[in-house]
Amino acid sequence: MRTQIIAHRGSKGTRPENTLVAFRAAIADGADGIETDVHLSRDGHLIIMHDERVDRTTDGEGLIQDLTLAQLKRLDAGSYFDPAYTNTRVPTLDDVVQLLVAQHFTGIFNLELKTNKIHYEGIEDLVADYFDQHSVPFKLVYSSFYAKSVERLHRLQPEVETDSLFSARRRIARRLHAQHVVLGYHPAMRWVRLNWLWLPKIQLRPWTVNKPRDMRFCFRHRFAGIITDYPGLAYQIRQNYRGEH
């Protein structure tokens, strides 16, 4: 089984994260999958960004939930990373999906609902409705640190894979797996390293796997996937690793 390379927020290590330019770069680098994060704007639009606030990755301030789509679209989401990406815009979920469709992307699209800090009312229904209304060529995977979002999405779309995110404790993830709500785990790489002698024999896609030695560890153990800021580097290491074995 080939360990799949999933680009964390696009090619986050080489482009401004969670932007169309980052997703294009990830596909060009050979990523098997794209991981990204979704929030809800004040006027009910599905917004792609990691943080609950826009401050870190744009020239704006405030919570996404307090800003309209028009306000979010005026923000510069690229110059914080490098002046070469000035005027890069904040994408919506539809912007990203349309890009992937145009790129004929058929890999994994891992959408994380960022509901563990702000429980956006109705976001699970909006996400499920969106994909019910849009036929996509890629494999959709939902994940979240917030168990209620995972459970809600599983009820709404039982045919879509759901996975549990965690950083240190897997008690809730274990329960969701036992209840057949989630198929696998997306644990922190640090947790994997600490527990490698007794890793559960289920589908694992650790995050964020950026060190070459951690990439090789995951390839050697044939994990289902790795979530990495550097999909291009991971692709090269996987090619070399396969050539050696």
Range of the domain at 57: 4-244
Beta-bridge partners for 109: 34, 140
CATH code of 170's domain: 3.20.20.190
DSSP 3-state assignment of 50? coil
What confidence tier does 164 reach under pLDDT thresholds 50, 70, 90?
Answer: very high
CA–CA distance, 88 with 78 (Å, rounded to integer): 5
Catalytic residue among 8, 39, 45, 177: 8
Mean pLDDT, the chain, rounded, equals 97
CB 50 within 8 A of CB 18: yes
pLDDT of residue 243: 57
Which pLDDT tens digit goes with each residue over 1-10? Answer: 799 999 999 9
- The mean pLDDT of 99-116, rounded to a whole number, is 98
CA–CA distance, 139 with 133 (Å, rounded to integer): 15
pLDDT of residue 239: 94
pLDDT of residue 11: 97
- The mean pLDDT of 161-166, rounded to a whole number, is 98
pLDDT of residue 128: 98
pLDDT of residue 244: 55
Q: How many domains does the chain have?
A: 1
Q: What is the DSSP string of 95-158?
A: HHHHHHHHTT--SEEEEEE--SSS--TTHHHHHHHHHHHS--SSEEEEEES-HHHHHHHHHH-T
pLDDT of residue 58: 98
Which pLDDT tens digit goes with each residue over 219-237? Answer: 999 999 999 999 999 999 9
CA angle 143, 44, 154 (to 5 degrees): 30
CB 37 within 8 A of CB 61: no
pLDDT of residue 242: 66
DSSP state of 84: G
pLDDT of residue 55: 98
pLDDT of residue 1: 76
119 is annotated as an active-site residue? no
In 3D space, the residue among 202, 169, 171 whose CA is nearest the CA of residue 185 turns out to be 202
Query: At a CB cut-off of 8 Å and minimum separation 6, what does 52 contact?
Result: 39, 63, 64, 65, 114, 117, 118
CB 166 within 8 A of CB 185: yes
Which pLDDT tens digit goes with each residue over 73-88? Answer: 999 999 999 999 999 9
Which pLDDT tens digit goes with each residue over 25-72? Answer: 999 999 999 999 999 999 999 999 999 999 999 999 999 999 999 999
Catalytic residue among 39, 50, 119, 186: 50
pLDDT of residue 245: 52
Query: At a CB cut-off of 8 Å and minimum separation 6, what does 109 contact?
Result: 33, 34, 36, 97, 100, 136, 138, 139, 140, 141
H helices, E strands: number in the chain: 9, 9
50 is annotated as an active-site residue? yes
**What is the value of pTM for the model shown?**
0.97
